[in-house]
Amino acid sequence: MKIIIVGDGKVGYTLADNLAGEEHDVTIVDKNPEALRRAHDNLDVMCVKGSGVSGKTLLEAGIRETDLLLAATSSDEINMVCALTGKKLGAKRTVARIRDPEYANELAMLKNELELDMIINPEQAAALEIVKLLQFPSAINVESFARGRVRVVDLKMTDDVPIVGMPLKKIASRINASVLIGAIERDEDVFIPDGEAVVQAGDTIYVVGNTVNTFNFCKAIGKCSLRIRRIMIVGGGRIGYYLSRIVLELGMKVKLIEIDRDRCQELSELLPEALIIQGDGTSTDLLESENLNDMDAFVALTGRDEDNLIVSLLARQAGVQKVITKVARINSESLIKALDLDSIISPRLITANHILQYVRGLKNAATTSLETLYKTANGQAEIIEFLVKQDRWYLNTPLRKLKMVKNAIIAAIVRKNEIIIPHGSDDVHRNDRVILFVKGLSPESLDDVFQVQEPL
């Protein structure tokens, strides 16, 4: 596909990196020559200097032959005008990043009026990711598939967990919960396990099942003892606002710390049920005076990664059981791992996941469409959901008779209201939703996963 990305910031660069890696024809448009130089030197993309709202610039970038225009500048208004201009000049599809809460209640109208095919709000998406973690506090991360019916829960294994030292094939008989461990992260590596793989202390395991079974599994291994009632949030930006609004509706109590006095006044009007505190959220004295050690959860959302990491460590030291940290710029996985923090969220990666899912879904839509894509395990693996739309040669055949490509496993099959954790005797039917774990692959459909060739 020919794709134009307007805006070479964190999101634009990440998208260009991933899309070029999947052999799309990517062009970046930006006014900043330094940003374009970085992209030109490091990525297999074409760069055009200019404004994304300029018809001349878009024509130079090849807008008339473009399959998809992604508007990802720092300005909502520029993104909207850029998408509208691009559509009028011939772009087949347009996607715009729109972040301001003032537009949040008008997204459906904006999408229709601007002829947008997709709108992405990174801060709102990040807030929703955090809410899932607060609802499943024992997990490092939680992701939903099959319209919320299937959960993938990332769990850190410690010496006291009863399945440590146990092969996967024996876990089912030990714990009465229909789940599958789709991937294991060990040290800095990730692998798709077979039944002989043994769980070790220090591993992160990725558990797949429905909501009840994943909860029962966590309970059986001692990972579901905490319920979140009181939350402290440091940072009153867009994510802090969206998060507070959602968790207040869920009945949780919110204490939000923001350093800017004017923003505090604004938040007090927007969130009358939250306790808004004006002050430096990185101050140990302030955190202690606001009873940090009484909180069930702590969320660090300031604009500086370094501050977020430091206050998160303070929260851990104070005994807060669930700590969530926003990281926007720091790319050192080894550094973050060394700090041993609970859950790290990146709005940039969340946004990229949503848009990559959309782009992949545009391809091979006739046979199997990509419904959900989620990069996990520090980007080393992916969880992908396909909807089977047509009869294919591998359907209605027991899985044990089908050979899959290396580093891929079917983790779940959703058939109407039934969730199947597959065994060798199970098969895939038309209209099923199939959830896979893959490593080092970018399958565009289920056809790319099975090695058996369709007979001539």
Element (H, E) at 83: helix 76-88
Co-location of 104 and 41 in the same domain:
yes
The type of residue at 61 is A
Max Cα separation, the chain? 74
Identify the domain boundary among 298, 320, 342: 320
**Total-model pTM:** 0.77
Give me the chain's average pLDDT, please. 89
Co-location of 206 and 281 in the same domain:
no
**Interacting residues of 30 by C-beta distance below 8 A, sequence separation 6+:** 6, 7, 8, 12, 36, 47, 49, 52
Co-location of 98 and 22 in the same domain:
yes
* Residue 366: per-residue pLDDT: 52
Q: Is residue 127 part of a domain?
A: no
Q: What are φ and ψ of residue 222, in 5° steps? A: 80, 30
Q: What is the CATH number of the domain that holds 285?
A: 3.40.50.720
Mean pLDDT computed over 86-90: 94
Helix (H, G, I), strand (E, B) or coil at 137: coil
Co-location of 97 and 160 in the same domain:
no
Co-location of 314 and 209 in the same domain:
no
pLDDT digit string (tens) for 22-34?
A: 889 999 999 999 9
Q: What are φ and ψ of residue 267, in 5° steps? A: -65, -35
First to last CA, the chain: 29
Between 269 and 368, the more confident residue is 269
Q: Is residue 292 part of a domain?
A: yes
Supply the DSSP symbol for 102.
H
Co-location of 113 and 8 in the same domain:
yes
**How far is it, in rounded angstroms, from Cα 130 to Cα 148?**
15
**Contact by Cβ (8 Å): 376, 383:** yes
* Residue 314: per-residue pLDDT: 95
Is residue 135 scored above 60 in pLDDT? yes
Q: Is residue 26 part of a domain?
A: yes
Cβ-in-10-Å burial (0-12, 13-18, 19+) of 225 comes to exposed
**How far is it, in rounded angstroms, from Cα 219 to Cα 74?**
43
* Residue 177: per-residue pLDDT: 76
**How far is it, in rounded angstroms, from Cα 161 to Cα 224?**
12
**How far is it, in rounded angstroms, from Cα 237 to Cα 328?**
14
Identify the domain boundary among 170, 199, 220: 220
Co-location of 245 and 296 in the same domain:
yes
* Residue 30: per-residue pLDDT: 96
**Which residues form the domain of 66?**
2-120
Q: 396 pLDDT band (50/70/90 cuts)?
A: very high
Task: Classify each residue of 289-304 as buried b or exposed e, where b means 16 or more C-beta atoms within 10 Å of its C-beta.
Answer: ebebeebbbbbbbbee
Mean pLDDT computed over 59-67: 95
pLDDT digit string (tens) for 252-264?
A: 999 999 999 999 9
Identify the domain boundary among 201, 220, 239: 220
Co-location of 211 and 235 in the same domain:
no
Between 61 and 101, the more confident residue is 61
Between 290 and 369, the more confident residue is 290
Q: Is residue 58 part of a domain?
A: yes
Q: Which stretch of 43-57, 363-377, 427-441 has the lowest confidence by average pLDDT?
A: 363-377
* Residue 66: per-residue pLDDT: 95
pLDDT digit string (tens) for 296-326?
A: 999 999 999 999 999 999 999 999 989 999 9
Co-location of 394 and 315 in the same domain:
no
Is residue 39 scored above 70 in pLDDT? yes
Co-location of 144 and 193 in the same domain:
yes
Q: Is residue 331 part of a domain?
A: no
Is residue 455 scored above 90 in pLDDT? no
Q: How many C-beta neighbours within 10 Å does residue 269 have?
A: 9
Co-location of 83 and 33 in the same domain:
yes
* Residue 332: per-residue pLDDT: 56
Is residue 100 scored above 90 in pLDDT? no
pLDDT digit string (tens) for 324-348?
A: 999 987 665 666 667 778 788 988 8
Q: Is residue 295 part of a domain?
A: yes
Q: How many CA atoms lie within 13 A of 323 on its CB side?
A: 23
Alpha-helix residue ranges (DSSP H) falling in 253-329:
261-270, 284-289, 305-317
Q: Which two tokens stand for residue 114?
A: 């601007």
Number of domains the chain contains: 4
Mean pLDDT computed over 101-127: 83
CA distances from 414 to 230, 386, 422 (A): 35, 10, 10
Q: What is the CATH number of the domain that holds 180?
A: 3.30.70.1450
Co-location of 31 and 113 in the same domain:
yes
